Amino acid sequence: MMGSKALLIMSAVLAGSLASTTARAAVVGINFQSSNSGSLGAPVTADAFGVPLADWQNLPPKNGNTTYDPLDVAGGELTLSTKAGNYWSLYSDGFIPSPGDAEVAYGYADDHSGVTVNIGGLSSILGAGESYSVQVVMASDAVTAFWSPTVLSGVDVLGTLTPGALMATPGNKSSGAATTSGNYAITSILDGLTADAITITTAGRGGTGNTTRGTIAGIIIETSVPEPGTGLVLLGGGALLALRRRG
């Protein structure tokens, strides 16, 4: 029979290999801040939507079509440009969003004619064999539903993101009275992406009373390493069998 020491060594090797191939490699959160007069910006001050505080990029408040400075993130460099009517906020009455999710929802790229976000340089944050996923945070001050964002690489449609349930955005007015303002939702995740550049688009406001919205408040990009390969599992099983035969 195989010695206990050999079994422990082989088990540790296999466990380490499996763990290393399924671990999250990097995550980038992009937070669009409002340029609405009287309520400029809302930088993230706590973990939000599962993304650690240190991994959020708080983009400076802008208006209209914008090209941002390159983002140095996750060991690479991303380029980012947007096409939006303006950048608005959920709150123009002294409302202070709660730390975390509500801060991301606070400001958003407005959707008069839809929103377009171009992100490039994504291959710079990928290691060998890695891919990435995309998820969008949507928010608005007058909304009953959100349009589904489309993700493209050039003219090729990579997939569509489905918005989740509407959630009221918590916070406090400057007077200290607890309240909520506006609504937000987070979309489904589109994963397995490897394109160096993508475009995320939404339709402009529409529906009854123009309350179906295509606003974008934030974007989450997460890289991941390949799933464990069958070859690794077979190799591990073969090695264990060989040890048993020699034991």
* Amino acid letter, residue 65: N
Q: Are residues 118 and 141 in the same domain?
A: yes
The larger pLDDT score, comparing residue 17 to residue 133, is at: 133
Q: Are residues 77 and 117 in the same domain?
A: yes
pTM for the full predicted model:
0.80
Q: Are residues 197 and 114 in the same domain?
A: yes
pLDDT confidence bin for 185, thresholds 50/70/90: very high
Q: Are residues 171 and 128 in the same domain?
A: yes
Q: Are residues 8 and 38 in the same domain?
A: no
The pLDDT of residue 36 is: 62
Q: Are residues 134 and 246 in the same domain?
A: no
Task: State the residue range of the domain holding 191.
Answer: 24-224
Q: Are residues 13 and 121 in the same domain?
A: no
Q: Are residues 66 and 15 in the same domain?
A: no
Number of domains forming the structure of the chain: 2
Q: Are residues 168 and 233 in the same domain?
A: no
Q: Are residues 104 and 208 in the same domain?
A: yes
Determine the average pLDDT of the residues in 136-153.
Answer: 93
Q: Are residues 160 and 245 in the same domain?
A: no
Q: Is the pLDDT of residue 225 over 90?
A: no
The pLDDT of residue 122 is: 98
The pLDDT of residue 24 is: 55
Q: Are residues 102 and 218 in the same domain?
A: yes
